[in-house]
Chains A and B, each alone.
Chain A
Amino acid sequence: MSVAEPLIIEQRSGFTLATIMARKATPMDRLETALGLALPVTPSAKSGKGMTLVATGPGTWLAMGDGSGETTPAALSQRLAGLASVVDQSSGYAIFRLSGRGARTLLQRGAPVDLHPSAFSPGSAAVTLIAHIGVLIWQADHLPTYEVAIFRSLAASFGAWLEAGVAAL
């Protein structure tokens, strides 16, 4: 079954990022109420209200905001005061969005985790390595569309791998 949409790779901009780390003894439901969003507790991502929350470890999430006032690190810090520590990471990661025909093949060539639809679907997330570069991957939709977050300083190196990978598709 082949994908109709062409391959699009774009480096995201205009987003904010924050690391949210639950404080001890903060019940999950209080965090969820404060955020207005269900929290993923397995390696997965949940979206809503202008934000995507990706679980990256026990009690730890990377919150990607669309830039709106409610979702900035400062706003999140206020909303979660006393419940969780919030750290601005907006300049810390480069995020690449890959979608369409060949997106899965390309990422599978780099990542040693099973990206087949039976194992990885919208909402699935993984912390893994591509080309010796640490990545956080999550699947946004069925197209398929993937988001890949890497340390900003490694963007050029990751781009070089992407270029070689696209040429080989």
Chain B
Amino acid sequence: MSRLTSGGLVDRDKPLSFRFDGRAYEGFGGDTLASALIANDVRLVGRSFKYHRPRGILTAGAEEPNALVTLRSGARSEPNTKATTVELFDGLEASSQNRWPNLRFDLLSINQLGGPLLASGFYYKTFMWPAAFWEKLYEPLIRRAAGLGKLAALPDPDSYDRDHGFCDLLVIGGGPAGLVAALSAGRAGLRVILVDEDHRLGGRLLAERRWINDLAGHMWAEQIAAELAQMPNVRVLTRTSVFGVYDGCEYGAIERISDHLATPDAGQPRQRYWKIVAKKALLASGAIERPLVFGGNDRPGAMMASAVSTYINRFAVAPGKRAAIFTCSDSGWETAKDMIAAGIELVAVIDPRDRVPPEGVSLASAGVRVIRGSVVDAIGASLRAIDVVSTEGHRVRIAVDLLAMGGGWNPAIGLGGNLGAQPIWCEAVQSFVMGEAPPHFAPIGAAAGRYGLRVALTDGATSAGEAIEALGGRATAQPVWATDDEPCRIGAFWHVSAHRGKAFVDFQHDVTDADVTLAAREGYRSVEHLKRYTTLGMATDQGKVGQLNGHALMAEATGRTIAQVGTIRSRPPYFPVAIAAFAGHHRDEHFRPERRTAGHDWAAERGATFVDAGQWKRAQWFALPGEQDWRETVNREVAATRHGVGVCDVSTLGKIEVHGPDAGALLDRLYINSFSSLAVGKARYGVMLREDGIVMDDGTVTRLADEHFYVTTTTANAASVMQHIDYARQVLWPELDVQAVSVTEHWSTCAVAGPRSRALLKALFSECDFSNEALPFMGAATIGWRGAVARIFRVSFSGELAYEVSVPALLGDALLRALIEVGEAFSVVPYGTEALSVMRIEKGHPAGNELNGQTTAADLGMARMMSKKKDFIGRAMAMRPGLTDPARPALIGLAPVDPAILLRAGAHLLGRGAAPIAANDQGYVTSAAWSPTLGHSIALGLLRHGPDRHGEIIIVHDPVRGADVEAVVCHPVFVDPEGSRVRG
């Protein structure tokens, strides 16, 4: 066991049991899965993506590229989880990935032998011949070998939540800089949100042995955290990470509510997606250490120097027994001190720079070999030795099981580039820093390339002060944070060229230094090409650890400076985000909101089958026991309505009240026909055009009083017609005195149709006169019913004697039940949207399929409705030659020559004997149905010169669903063409 006997921030009073690859282990509260594995001497945690090389834990943070495990099992299993960020909990189960049959013995490690063949871009150069093999052999093989981790393929049992945050100052990162900034701003009374990915605040202070004002760093952090927790104007979100910066000072973040628990508490979501709007934001995300590039730098046992320190200081585990440090950064020398304090045998420190920090002298005298040179190769499937070459050329092999690498630091500026700002090269810190920044956003501390604890503390205070002032507040007196300076120099050293083993640049995607030089050789010299060609930086870590090394190597390979080569901007999300977190509540039946009519429950009781009409649920048909299929049901509903009486819930159609002295004038400008001339108590069918002359929508308009009109629309266009009317009265003609509002929701409407409809309504509404004289076709009446206003419109979509009855929706259910109860004496039948559709096709009424955004009023046989006495929207554009061409496909009916054949919508129309090519296309079928009234299939369609071709036999061409069919062109009104039934 590698657990140190004392020290660390783990809770030794809280032992936890967990399993990795089926074996049982023990850890402590406060451990991560990674630290607990190290405590249990587990060195091998995965196999790399392409070469299946054995890999161990490289880092101690969210930038981890190697230690990707599948956490949990069953429906909750989560692939590609970084062991370094998993908070250990009792009963945790994890398994390694990308290996078969197991981690120790992975057959696919044979890929390593194919090394030269599997270099970057190999798939552009292989698997090409024979072409036939691609689909059947190569692709399935590649699919099986590719990919990292396996999805559960079971429904996610957890729920996900949202929240919205608003603040004056958003502080991203709760390390020393962030804590001071949040504290100063909080004390000044600003609304502050402080976000940190860890479960406790402190950042680097939890991982290093530093002192602030005579307090150990982590205790100082606790003290600040306690003060922040008391401030009502400060919100601290731990276990939360910001994933993106968006326009309008908006920030996306994910709060991990339950990831650290075996299962979420009852009702609790797994994760919460935050949208935060902040007047100012500070990026206090620190910096990420980068490795050095030499042979075998990916061996289990080679670890980032700062990670070694973290495991020692925070988790009280020693990642090895006999160690060396290879560093070109002063920070690597700090790790030496931590190792010695932990009792790890430090054998050598290798540093290629001219000057070593003062520590070097004391270490040498303590028996540690200090070598000015570099490690060229790390050896062993699990690290057992390193080959070192000094600057003088002396070569020596040193036996170690732990190599701490310190290649320098990359400020974690990813978020800063989300809105397009390019990073700029900073020679002093040998890394890229933010140049421009998003509006009201600034990096501080290490994230700004300003290293050192004292600098972090002052940066936090200064930046908070600036934010406070900018927002018109007053900063309180700044405390003095006393801490010791640490040396922060970084040398410009990137790469050991003469090595034997593979030297890795991108660990997760197995990109080596040879791949970078290959890319340069093949002409992929830009960093953007380098990225796509080698896949450097394209893994789940987005190149946080290794990308810059690749860019430095490209600079070397092409004789440019790193500043000239540039780097790649990070893309949001900054880290992988579960899609479920974005979906939140909106999945399965809650994917989108559902609109239900007032008659919905009644229809469900009646056994209706429902169909989606936009967000609405509409009853499609009402099957009776014994009916074999839906067509039988629909045929019965149609027959019953045409011979008796049917009732249909048509509440989903749009309804708009239009009021005011200029209401009629506005409607005249919106419709092709006139409404200012409509008498009170009468209804009229109207058609609206778009500005470009194409039909937009149709409906009936009823005049209920001089200055009161009631407009109906199709279901689909209810919202867009309302917008259109509002646009017209508010923007186009604000001088008109007209008001309009949607009442689609307020009214429930039922169609009552059929020869017995009058009798049914007389029985239900006994005070109302339904005679043909009192309520003629296209008339309207207003009556009282159960204490409310009811409106009765004598309009017909079915072509039968029919009415539409509207009551306030709170009485909608009662109306339906009353109609059915009273209607029993008349054998009333409820009918749904299918029967509704069959009947309107039988009557040749254009509906959504014909009002398809490509047809004009003339195409639909309504040219004569277009008034010549007034202007209306679309009038001028409708007169364009292309829209008045008589050869345009126009509305016709179709009946199959063979009555047994079904016509289908979407089929195209050809002349007999014409080849089925686009040049011969004469139109298409828009709507089709089986007509129980006629005993054969019928259709509506658009046919060139259609109205002049009644009686002609043409071909209905349907290559997708079947053979060509002969059909007769006819008048689109199949049933009662004189329209005598509606007028009875």
Contacts of A92 in B (CB 8 A): 743, 745-746, 809
Given the contacts A116-B166, A167-B267, A168-B161, A23 and B660 also touching, CB distance less than 8 Å: yes
Out of A21, A91, A157, which one reaches B810, CB within 8 Å? A91
- Say if the beta carbon of A139 comes within 8 Å of chain B: no
- Mark interface residues in A108-134 (1 if CB within 8 Å of B CB, else 0): 111111101011000000000001110
Contact residues in B for A165 (Cβ distance below 8 Å): 161
* Chain A residues whose CB sits within 8 angstroms of the CB of B736 once the complex forms: 24
B232 at the interface (CB under 8 A from A): yes
Cα separation A151 to B660 with both chains bound (whole Å): 25
Q: Per-position contact with A for B770-812: 1 when CB-CB < 8 Å, else 0?
A: 0000000000000000000100000000000000000011111
Whether a CB of chain A sits under 8 angstroms from the CB of B737 is yes
Q: Say whether A116 contacts B164, CB under 8 Å.
A: no
Q: Which residue in chain B gives the minimum CB-CB distance to A156?
A: B596
- Contact partners of B808 in chain A: CB under 8 A: 88, 90-91
Question: Does chain A have a CB within 8 A of B163?
Answer: yes
Contact status A152-B745, CB under 8 Å:
yes
A131 → chain B closest CB, angstroms: 6
Identify which of B735, B745, B812 contacts A93 (C-beta below 8 A). B745
Q: Chain B contacts of A154 at CB under 8 A?
A: 593-595
Complex Cα–Cα for A112 and B166 (A): 9
**Interface presence of B747 (CB below 8 A):** yes
Q: Which of B166, B266, B275, B598 contacts A119 (CB 8 A)?
A: B166
Any chain B CB within 8 A of the CB of A4?
no
Complex Cα gap A94–B439 (Å): 41
Cβ–Cβ contact B163 & A151, under 8 A: no
Q: Complex: how many Å from CA A110 to CA B164?
A: 8
B586:A23 contact, CB within 8 angstroms: no
Structural contact, B593 and A21, CB atoms closer than 8 A: no
**Residue from B586, B596, B660 within 8 A of A132 (CB atoms):** B586
Q: Shortest CB–CB separation between residue B662 and chain A, in angstroms?
A: 9
Report the minimum CB–CB distance from B171 to chain A (whole Å).
18
Does the CB pair B593–A131 fall under 8 Å? Answer: yes
Question: Total interface residues on A, using CB and 8 Å?
Answer: 45
11 residue pairs bridging A and B, Cβ less than 8 Å apart? A23-B660, A89-B745, A109-B161, A109-B164, A110-B162, A112-B164, A114-B277, A154-B594, A156-B594, A157-B593, A164-B585
Contact A85 B191 (CB under 8 A): no
In the complex, are the beta carbons of B809 and A87 less than 8 A apart? no
A132 x B592 contact (CB < 8 A): yes
A132 to B593, CA, bound (A): 7
A58: nearest chain-B partner, CB-CB: B730
* Complex contacts, A71 vs chain B, CB 8 Å: none
Nearest-Cβ distance from residue B650 to partner chain A, whole angstroms: 14
Q: Does B739 contact A (CB under 8 A)?
A: yes
Mark B26-46 against chain A: 1 for CB-CB distance below 8 A, else 0. 000000000000000000000
User: What 6 pairs across the A-B complex have the smallest Cβ distances?
Assistant: A167-B267, A85-B659, A21-B739, A92-B746, A91-B809, A91-B808
B657: CB under 8 A from chain A?
yes
Please determine whether A88 and B191 come into contact, CB atoms closer than 8 angstroms.
Answer: no
B-side contacts of A87, CB under 8 Å: 657, 659, 741, 743
> Closest approach, in angstroms, between the C-beta of B805 and any C-beta of chain A?
15
The answer to whether B593 touches A112 (Cβ under 8 A) is no
Taking CB as reference atom, which chain B residue is nearest A59?
A: B739
Proximity bits, B152-170, A CB within 8 Å = 1, else 0? 0000000101111010000
Q: How far is the CB of A87 from chain B (nearest CB, A)?
A: 5
- A62–B960 CA distance with the chains assembled, in angstroms: 52
Q: Specify which chain B residues have a CB less than 8 angstroms from the CB of A168 in the assembled complex.
A: 159, 161, 267-269
B306 within 8 A of A: no
**B843-865 to A contact mask, C-beta < 8 Å, 1/0:** 00000000000000000000000
User: B280 to chain A: closest CB distance in Å?
Assistant: 16
Query: Which residue of chain A has the shortest Cβ distance to B748 in the bound complex?
Result: A91
Q: Which of B275, B597, B735, B746 makes the CB contact (< 8 A) with A112?
A: B275
Q: Is B23 an interface residue (CB 8 A)?
A: no
Instruction: Please name all residues of chain A whose beta carbon is closer than 8 Å to the beta carbon of B585 when the two chains form the complex.
Output: 131, 160-161, 164
A44, B810: Cα distance in complex, Å:
27
* A155 CA / B842 CA spacing, docked (Å): 37
For A23, what are the chain B residues with a Cβ–Cβ distance below 8 Å?
660-661, 737, 739
Residues of B within 8 Å of A85, CB to CB, are: 657, 659-660, 739
Q: Which residue of chain B lies nearest to A160 when distances are taken between CB atoms in the complex?
A: B590
| B47-73 vs A, Cβ < 8 Å mask (1 yes, 0 no) | 000000000000000000000000000
Q: Is B616 an interface residue (CB 8 A)?
A: yes
Contact (Cβ within 8 A) B191 A116: yes
- Pair B164/A111 contact, Cβ less than 8 Å: yes
- In the assembled complex, A19 has its CB within 8 A of some CB on chain B: yes
The answer to whether A153 and B745 have CB atoms under 8 Å apart is yes
**Contact string, A1-31, partner B, CB cutoff 8 A, digits 1/0?**
1000000000000000001011111000000
Q: Which of B129-188 contact A (CB under 8 A)?
A: 159, 161-164, 166
Complex Cα spacing A111 to B268, Å: 19
Residue of A nearest to B274 (CB): A109
> Cβ of B661: which chain A residues have Cβ within 8 Å of it?
23
Q: Provide the bound-state CA to CA distance between A10 and B360, in Å.
A: 72
**CB pair B745 A91 closer than 8 Å:** yes
A46: min CB distance to chain B, Å: 20
Which residues of chain A are within 8 angstroms of B598 by Cβ–Cβ distance?
Answer: 91, 152
CB <8 Å contact, B741 and A90: no
**Extra A-B contacts (6), CB below 8 Å, given A87-B743, A166-B267, A167-B267:** A1-B232, A90-B808, A91-B811, A109-B164, A131-B585, A165-B161
With the chains together, A19 CA to B742 CA distance in Å? Answer: 10
Chain A 40-61: CB-based contact to B (< 8 A → 1; otherwise 0): 0000000000000000000010
Expressed in whole angstroms, the Cα–Cα distance for A165 and B162 within the complex equals 9
CB distance from A166 to the nearest CB of B (A): 8
Q: How far is the CA of A165 from the CA of B160 in the complex (A)?
A: 10
Contact in complex: A153, B159 (CB < 8 Å): no
Cα(A169)–Cα(B268), bound, Å: 8
Question: In the complex, what distance in Å separates the CA atom of A104 from the CA atom of B741?
Answer: 30
Q: How far is the CB of A101 from chain B (nearest CB, A)?
A: 15
**Chain B, residue nearest A56 (CB):** B741
- Report B-chain residues with C-beta under 8 Å of the C-beta of A21: 659, 739-741
* CB of A137 to closest CB in B, whole Å: 13
For the complex, give the distance between the alpha carbons of A152 and B811 in Å.
13
* From A24, A89, A112, A119, contact of B743 by CB (8 A): A89
With A90-B746, A91-B745 as known contacts, state yes or no: A153 contacts B597, CB within 8 Å.
Answer: yes
Task: State the CA gap A167–B166 with chains docked (Å).
Answer: 23
Alpha-carbon gap, A108 to B193, bound state (A) = 15
Please give the distance in Å from B565's CB to the nearest CB on chain A.
41
Given contacts A116-B191, A132-B592, contact A91 B586 (CB under 8 A): no
Q: A113 — nearest CB in chain B belongs to which residue?
A: B164
Return the chain A residue nearest B658 by Cβ: A85
Chain A residues near B747 (CB, 8 Å)? Answer: 91
Write the chain B residue with the least CB distance to A87.
Answer: B657
Q: B162, A109: Cβ atoms under 8 Å?
A: yes
Q: How far, in Å, is B343 (CB) from chain A's closest CB?
A: 47
Query: Using a CB-CB cutoff of 8 Å, which residues 66-109 of chain B contact chain A?
Result: none
A166 to B737, CA, bound (A): 46
What 1/0 flags go to B719-752 for Cβ under 8 Å of A?
0000000000000000111011101011110000
User: Which A-chain residue is minimally distant from B159 (CB atoms)?
Assistant: A164
Alpha-carbon separation in the docked complex, A91 to B787 (Å): 14
Contacts of A88 in B (CB 8 A): 743, 746, 789, 808
Shortest A111–chain B CB gap in Å is: 7
Q: How far does the Cβ of B861 sit from chain A's closest Cβ, in whole Å?
A: 34
Nearest-neighbour CB distance to chain A for B267, whole angstroms, equals 3
List, in ascending order, chain B residues with CB within 8 A of A89's CB: 741, 743, 745-746
Shortest beta-carbon distance from A161 to chain B in Å: 6
A23 and B277 CA atoms in complex are apart in Å by 38
Contact residues in A for B739 (Cβ distance below 8 Å) = 21-23, 84-85
CB-based contact A167/B266 at 8 Å: yes
Cα–Cα, bound, A158→B595 (Å)? 10
In B619-675, the 8 Å CB interface with A consists of: 657, 659-661
Q: How far is A119 from B739 in the complex, measured between Cα atoms in Å?
A: 32
A25, closest chain B residue (CB)? B737
